[in-house]
Amino acid sequence: MSRNARIRLFWAAAVVFAVVYALACTGLPRFGTRVHPYATRAVAASLRQHTANVVSSVNFDQRALDTLGEESILFASVLGTIVLLRHARDERVGRPRAGRVLPSTRLLGLVLVPVTLLTGVYIVAHGQLSPGGGFQGGVILATGLHMAYVAADYRVLKRIRPLAVLDVADALGAGAFTALGLAGLIAGGAYLQNVLPLGTFGQLSSGGLVPVLNAAVGVEVGSGVIVLLASFLDQAVEVRSANNPGPGGRT
């Protein structure tokens, strides 16, 4: 299809969509309405299960099976990216040169890396109590590690990043979620049912299976994002193809 025809087709479809969507919007419940049947039930169920953070309760207890699908997508796309970005036969690996970093940046990085990693662990561990959880905390853990890339250079990042271990950790995190679901079956309930003791409301150990699943997801997301960024950084900094020879990129 030619470019002009494509754009004309888009405008025709866009007008139809806009009209139908606007009509549909007028039929929706009003914005900011007080009556939310799902919210009321989800909050009640979350309090019954001693989970203070309702979003975590929905994700890891009430709709845990959906979250299993979600983290499977995450795992599959990390796997797909690694396969897509593997080194081809005509590519060779260059040696990245050291970049120049201001001493103040280096000092700030040195201070912030442990602080960020600790924040990540906190967000994962308190997922059942305060805003956060495995997904958010995992991303913070991964970005915390990459502060070493900003504050120092690629070679330092490579040294503190045990990629082989993280590959395995990613798979183990994904597998642990699936395996933890079996606990419900063993206890005589349903798959992914919350069977652990629920604990005291508002305590770190509350929520039963929720904090355990959060930890599994935190490990998976953290290592998954690091592995993902590693394959992209590798392409940008190290790989030199036949039509783009060079001694390796600057970090």
Partner 1 sequence: MTVLPFLTAGWIFLAGVYGLVTSRNIIQAVGCLAVAQSSTYVLLLTVGYRRGGIAPYFTDTPLRTRTVDPVVQALALTDIVVGATVTALLLALAMQIRKRHGTVDPDALTGLKG
Query: Is residue 64 within 8 Å of residue 53, measured between CB atoms?
Result: no
Tokens representing residue 170 in the block: 């990613």
Residue 55 binds to partner 1 (criterion: CB under 8 A): yes
Largest CA distance in the chain: 64
Rule CB under 8 A: choose which of 49, 68, 74, 174 binds partner 1. 74
Contact set for partner 1, span 141-200 (CB under 8 A): none
Q: Which is nearer to partner 1, 152 or 229 (CB)?
A: 229
- CA triple 246-242-90, angle to 5 deg: 125
Query: Is residue 127 within 8 Å of residue 137, measured between CB atoms?
Result: yes
Query: Is residue 197 within 8 Å of residue 208, measured between CB atoms?
Result: yes
Residue 89 binds to partner 1 (criterion: CB under 8 A): no
Residue 205 binds to partner 1 (criterion: CB under 8 A): no
Q: Which is nearer to partner 1, 153 or 170 (CB)?
A: 170
161: part of which helix (H) or strand (E)?
Answer: none
Supply the minimum distance, in Å, between the C-beta of residue 106 and partner 1: 29
Supply the minimum distance, in Å, between the C-beta of residue 173 and partner 1: 13
Rule CB under 8 A: choose which of 12, 77, 118, 191 binds partner 1. 77
Instruction: For residue 112, count CB atoms less than 10 angstroms from its CB and return exposed for 0-12, middle for 13-18, buried for 19 or more.
Output: middle
Rule CB under 8 A: choose which of 12, 16, 80, 205 binds partner 1. 80
* Piece in contact with partner 1 (CB under 8 A), picked from 12-20, 92-100, 149-157, 163-171: 12-20
Query: Is residue 127 within 8 Å of residue 53, measured between CB atoms?
Result: yes
* Piece in contact with partner 1 (CB under 8 A), picked from 48-56, 104-112, 148-156, 165-173: 48-56
DSSP string covering 113-176, please?
Answer: HHHHHHHHHHHHHTTTTSS--HHHHHHHHHHHHHHHHHHS-HHHHHHT--HHHHHHHHHHHHHH
* Nearest in space to 210 (alpha carbons), one of 133, 123, 131: 133
Q: Which is nearer to partner 1, 96 or 127 (CB)?
A: 127
Rule CB under 8 A: choose which of 12, 16, 48, 59 binds partner 1. 59
- CA triple 185-73-148, angle to 5 deg: 110
Where do contacts with partner 1 occur on this chain (CB under 8 A)?
3, 6-7, 10, 14, 17-18, 21-22, 25-26, 28-34, 36, 38-39, 42-43, 46-47, 52-55, 57-59, 63, 66-67, 70-71, 73-74, 77-78, 80-81, 84-85, 88, 129-131, 135, 202, 221, 224, 228, 231-232, 235, 241, 243
